[in-house]
Structure 1
Amino acid sequence: MHSSRVVVRLGEVCVDIDGHRALDGVDLDVRAGALSAVVGANGSGKSTLVSVLAGLRAPTSGTVEMRPGTAIALVPQHTADTARLPLTVADLVSMGRWRERGAFRPLRRSDRERVAEAIDAVGLRPYSSRPLGALSGGQRQRAFVGQALAQDADLLLLDEPTSGLDDASRRAAASALRVAADRGAAVVVVTHDLRELGEVDDVVTLAAGRIVGAPTAYDTRGRRGRNVSSVEG
């Protein structure tokens, strides 16, 4: 990689799933400190792209270059089944520190402070001791975003984290993702509506597995988000 700001680079990535080409010749640089929105119709390859970036799916052809030592946090789409988890909000977000501390070691003061910051970032402080089953679907989704934030990951991947959320939850989640990017993380978010994210830096539009030109997008800081086929670092 020629730029220290590039966290992961895709080169001519193709992915075939059950005889269907889900991604077709995708070139993409994901940059540290940038909030990137991935948009497109259902079946356009958005979730497949996230899976490749997360290292969960190997490309059929092409290259994936990840900056050495990159820590990845993934927030997939969640269902009502998450309400059955026997955890409080604080328990769930604390699990975000396991990568650094291990699952069975007590959290340090610094870990507890990071967990509290993540809970605050998604606006769930009043609910930190509540079980997930006592929360609304939007609040549970925000708790999972909080868990990802608590990981302090270099690459934060989220698949429609604001889908179905009420306005308050949507604003809280979007604000937290903006903060994560401003702190230096590379944040990639699949969304059906750019307006739900507010401030974005890059826009990746997929159609039939290929990156295409996108409608004009802008962020709330008054500058245009860049439509990208390959973002130079």
Structure 2
Amino acid sequence: MSWEFISPVIQVCSVFIPVIGWFVVHRLSMSRENKISSKDTALIKWEYFKKLKNKELYSWYEREIFAKKVAGNTSATLKEVLYFLQFKDADQWMSSYFQYKKYIKVIESNDYIVKFESEYIKFKYFMYIAGYWLLMFMALTPLVIRVGFDYYLNEIYQSLMGGSVIGGIWLIVFPFISVIGAFSSAILAENLKGSKNFVDNFESKAIKIEENPNI
């Protein structure tokens, strides 16, 4: 198969790479939401809820460890778990919360959680998106533009043959670094948006219940 045939195919395919990349990141982010094992769900029962609240029978350390088991997440705290267990479908809310915890600010009053605030800022979100497309453009320009692609390959060849190994390696590595940076920006953007969606959904849809043996 001749290079004259392969080159145009590479050019056409490379145009769709940024779109496909963003779609993949978005789908992976969505697939993690509300993903919780049956073992974790089974732990959220009334008797365990009572143990978490029992300060007399269990030490703070024991209750903290048990809270992590109930949540199925090592970053969970007793305070967070007790807060979510006040709501219907606590397991699902906790699953979403711990996915985006790094991007959510906890508001407390008198040492109790009262609400959540997302760290989502439109400017920051769009900056991450812009960073994704810019870095993808930088990485794929040599592939999209035929002249650029031929020139890029020639530069790599000349650098390696001319003894400038570091320069040649850099020309090879740079696109990969750009792609990694692009996907990092996309993941950050998705996490920010996800934290906002969680807070908005929790505020509008979470149903607070009394202590219920069906929890």
| TM-score past 0.5 threshold | no
CA radius of gyration, larger in? 2
Q: TM-score range by the shorter chain?
A: under 0.3
Which has a greater percent of strand? 1
TM-score by length of 2: 0.21
